Amino acid sequence: MRQTKIGVIGTPLLVMALLPCAAVPALGQAAGPPVQAGVKAAQRAAKTPTQKAGGPLQSLTTRPERSNYNETSRYDEVVKFIEAVAAAAPRTVRLTTFGYSFEGRPLPLAVVGHVKDASPEAVTSSGRTRIYVQGNIHADEVEGKEACLELLRALGAGEHAEWLDSMVLLIGPIYNADGNEAVTVKNRYNSPVGGVGQRANRQTPVNLDLNRDFMKLDSPEARSFAFLMQRYDPHIVIDLHTTDGSIHGYRVTYAPPLHPASAPGVVELARRELLPAVTRAVKAKHGWDYYYYGNFGRQAEPGTLRTFSTTEPGPRYSTNYVGMRNRIGLLSETYSYLLFKDRIAAARAFVEEVCAFASRNGAMIRKAAAEADAQPVVGQTIALSGKPVRSAEPVDILVGEITTVKHPYTGGRLRVATGVTRSEKMYESTSFEADETTRAPRSYIVPSNLDAVVDRLEAHGVKFSKLAQAASLKVEQFRIASSKLAERDYQGHKARTITGAWEDGDENAPAGTIIVPVDQPLGRLVVLLLEPRSEDGLAAWNLMDSVLEKEKPAFYPVTRTMEEVK
């Protein structure tokens, strides 16, 4: 088997973990023990350069930089950092907000580009490619936040100026603002050793994982995201994460939209053009390996090959949700066993190469989005769920190696990559094909008393109308064979699973009934929100329980029709 060194050890965190504890210094001083002579060789082995801004931003530093990469930025520091960059580069960087957290913190958004102001109108009317970069959706995954700040500083200092001729960058470094502030040194097993926020936003009443909330929109953060998508309409969304544990050999693993109902042209552009270009560019510039996101499955029996399998396709996840809106959603998962400084650099490199690709291929990206918006959905077969597709032949996957060191402040164990990888033949499963499907109708007919459903449709930006007067309609109605709630609570809900079949019928719809056309840019999203068998539909998230649970009806409360309803 091939083995290769990838040089990941050598930043100060590992040094600190291997040496006796030292008191944490005041902010602005370097944290951790002094550098020892033997560390310098290890630092030379690392391929992560320190990138400094010039001009008036030269003295502007992030909290990791000031703390020897032992601490992460707090909310107020993030806001002040963006303010400082905007003050130094007022013609290209502007600070605004795009919503609120549960505790009422404004969610900061840096708008970077040649636009007259930070308003959605100024950005969308520019005609440029729009890219939204999001960090910190999981508050214990903090390198994306820091990478956003580093990149913003570089842009303010004039780096990558050519990008702004063809694009506008929207940078939201701290999506889970409340969770970010709940810092302890035990929130995650890996660096930074000075602590990170909580993974879930535990300040909410139902302890939400914000990356499971993009269909049901329980949180103000998810609603803020949906508003941003409507108002700024980014062509590409990059969501920055950290892996949960697979010991592979890639600095970053990534995924495009995974739900099989996503617009094919958008997904194909990401898979065949964008992500391969990013992978090649990073390898050429840094020598780092990036690949599709995956986790290792167990061998079915001794001697058989494992499978490297991606995450779930549900649109409850941010980038899959973006795909349902006909836009390119890109999941970036930085390897958790890298040291903090290296993870920041890896996340930043991913964003930079996506932007570089977009600056060269903006017309192609905008065309793909426009064509997806215009693509007919009515009458088409739409996937409601997906099943994994396994590669026909085994492929080479890089497997990593880790060691453990003592956490200097908890006594627990930190897992750190050794820098050794080997290639292993295994199958891969990085995409999904349709499992449950349905034929998209012309319209869905929603009773006006389903307040929670109407509220979510509005929040997603779905277009609908109300009947001005009663109407007799030829419809399909879904006869329920079974309707069951899960035994266990998940994200504050007990998932509802409905089985049955559509059958022809007649409906006397009263005035005020909600008519939701599928012939609109968000038609794919409409189908997945309103179909009874959709795994992430509003019924699955209990938002029709006012009828389904209380009344136990024979038919699903939402009907559908192929007739044109006026």
Return per-residue pLDDT of the chain as tens, 566 residues: 444 333 333 333 333 333 223 333 333 333 343 222 222 333 333 344 445 555 789 899 999 999 999 999 999 999 999 999 999 999 999 999 999 999 999 999 999 999 999 999 999 999 999 999 999 999 999 999 999 999 999 999 999 999 999 999 999 999 999 999 999 998 887 779 999 988 777 666 568 999 999 999 999 999 999 999 999 999 999 999 999 889 999 999 999 999 999 999 999 999 999 999 999 999 999 999 999 999 998 766 777 899 999 999 999 999 999 999 999 999 999 999 999 999 999 999 999 999 999 999 999 999 999 999 999 999 999 999 999 999 999 999 999 999 999 999 999 999 999 999 999 999 999 999 999 999 999 999 999 999 999 999 999 999 999 999 999 999 999 999 999 999 999 999 999 999 999 999 999 999 999 999 999 999 999 999 999 999 999 999 999 999 999 999 999 999 999 999 98
User: Class assignment of domain 3-432?
Assistant: alpha beta
**Helix, strand, coil percent content, the chain, rounded in steps of 5:** 30, 25, 45
Q: Are strands 413-417 and 295-296 parallel, antiparallel or unpaired?
A: unpaired
From residue 66, alpha-carbon distances to 61, 372, 386, 417, 462 in Å are: 7, 45, 46, 24, 45
- In total, the chain counts a number of residues equal to 566
Cβ burial of 500 (10 Å; 0-12, 13-18, 19+) is: middle
pTM of structure: 0.91
Provide CB contacts within 8 A for 133, sequence distance 6+: 148, 151, 169, 170, 171, 172, 238, 240, 351
In the chain, CATH 3.40.630.10 sits at 3-432
Look at residue 414 and give its three-state secondary structure: strand
Hey, is 260 helix, strand or coil?
A: coil
Buried b (16+ CB within 10 A) or exposed e, 316-330: bbbbbbbbbbbbbbb
